[in-house]
Structure 1
Amino acid sequence: MTVSILIFLPIVAAILTLFFKNEAAKHAALFFSVVELGIVAYFVSGFVPNATVQYVIDTPWIPQMGVYFSAGIDGISMVMVLLTTILVPLIILSTYQHEYKNAKAIYALILFMQAGLLTVFTALDGFLFYVGWEAALIPIYFICALWGGENRIRVNIKFFIYTFAGSLFMLLAIIYLYLQTPNKVYDVHAFYELSLNMKQQTWIFWGFFIAFAIKMPVFPFHTWQPDTYTEAPTAGTMMLSGIMLKMGIYGVIRWLIPNAPIGFLKMEYVVLLLSVAGIVYASIIAFKQKDGKRLVAYSSIAHVGLIAAGIFAWSIQGLQGAMIQMVSHGINVVGMFFIWDIISRRLGTRDMSQLGGIAKVAPQFSIAFLIIVLGTVALPLTNGFVGEFLLLKGVYNYTIVFATVAGLTIIFGAVYMLRMYKQVMQGELNELTATFTDIKGSEKLVLGIICALIIVIGVYPQPLLHLSEASVTNLFQTVSAKFTAAKF
Structure 2
Amino acid sequence: MQTIFLILYPVVAASLILLIKGERVKQAALVAALVELVYAVAVFVQFKPDATSQFGYDYAWISSLGIRLSGGIDGISVLLVLLTGLVVPLIVLSTFERSYSRPALFYALMLYMQAALMGVFTARDAFLFYFFFEAALIPIYFLAAMWGGENRVPVTFKFFIYTIFGSLFMLVALVYLYYQTPLVDGHHTANITDFYRLKLTPEAQSWVFWAFFIAFAIKMPVFPFHTWQPDTYVESPTPATMLLAGVMLKMGVYGLIRFILPVVPLGVEAWGRTAIVLSVIGIVYGSIIAIRQRDMKRLIAYSSFSHVGLMAAGVFSQTETGMQGALIQMLAHGVNVVGMFFVADAIFARTQTHQLDQLGGITKTTPKLTVFFMIMLLGSVALPLTNGFVGEFLLLHGVYTYNHYIGLAAGFTIIFGAVYMLRMFQKSMFGTPSSRTTNFADLTLSESLVFVPLVVMVFWMGIYPQTFLKVTEPAVANLMKYIGTTAVSLK
TM-score, normalised on structure 1? 0.99
Paired position in structure 2 for 1:261? 265
Paired position in structure 1 for 2:197? 193
Paired position in structure 2 for 1:357? 361
Q: Deviations over 1:281-316 (max 9, x none)?
A: 111111111000000000001000111111111100
Structure 2 unmatched ranges of 5 or more: none
Paired position in structure 2 for 1:44? 44
Paired position in structure 1 for 2:456? 452
C-alpha deviation, 1:263, in angstroms:
0.5
Paired position in structure 1 for 2:53? 53
Counterparts of 1:414-453 in structure 2, within 5 Å, are 414-453=418-457
Whether 2:470 is the aligned partner of 1:466: answer yes
Paired position in structure 2 for 1:13? 13
Range with greater deviation from structure 2 (122-131 or 449-458): 449-458
Paired position in structure 1 for 2:407? 403
User: Which letter maps to 2:270?
Assistant: K
Counterparts of 1:48-447 in structure 2, within 5 Å, are 48-183=48-183, 184-447=188-451
User: Which letter maps to 1:82?
Assistant: L
User: Which letter maps to 2:76?
Assistant: I
Pairwise CA RMSD of aligned residues? 0.9
Distance 1:348 1:454 in 2: 28
Range with greater deviation from structure 2 (478-487 or 336-345): 478-487
Q: Deviations over 1:340-360 (max 9, x none)?
A: 001111001111011111001
User: Which letter maps to 1:203?
Assistant: W
C-alpha deviation, 1:66, in angstroms:
1.4
Q: Deviations over 1:358-410 (max 9, x none)?
A: 00110110010001111000000110000000000001101111111111232
Distance 2:413 2:41 in 1: 37
C-alpha deviation, 1:462, in angstroms:
0.5
Distance 1:298 1:408 in 2: 14
Distance 1:242 1:395 in 2: 23
Distance 1:126 1:427 in 2: 54
Range with greater deviation from structure 2 (148-157 or 401-410): 401-410
Q: Deviations over 1:53-76 (max 9, x none)?
A: 111101101111211000001111
- Is the contact between residue 209 and residue 256 of structure 1 (CA under 8 Å) also seen in structure 2? yes
User: Which letter maps to 2:36?
Assistant: E
Distance 1:295 1:202 in 2: 35
Name the SS for the 1:433 alignment partner.
Answer: coil
Distance 2:433 2:41 in 1: 45
Structure 1 unmatched ranges of 5 or more: none
Paired position in structure 2 for 1:479? 483
Cα distance change of structure 1 residues 408 and 45 upon mapping to structure 2, 3 Å threshold: closer
C-alpha deviation, 1:33, in angstroms:
1.1
- Is the contact between residue 219 and residue 251 of structure 2 (CA under 8 Å) also seen in structure 1? yes
Name the SS for the 1:75 alignment partner.
Answer: coil
User: Which letter maps to 1:398?
Assistant: Y
Distance 1:84 1:436 in 2: 32
Distance 2:43 2:412 in 1: 40
User: Which letter maps to 2:127?
Assistant: F
Distance 1:218 1:431 in 2: 39
Distance 1:42 1:294 in 2: 36
C-alpha deviation, 1:47, in angstroms:
1.5
Distance 1:297 1:307 in 2: 16
Range with greater deviation from structure 2 (259-268 or 422-431): 422-431
Distance 1:442 1:226 in 2: 28
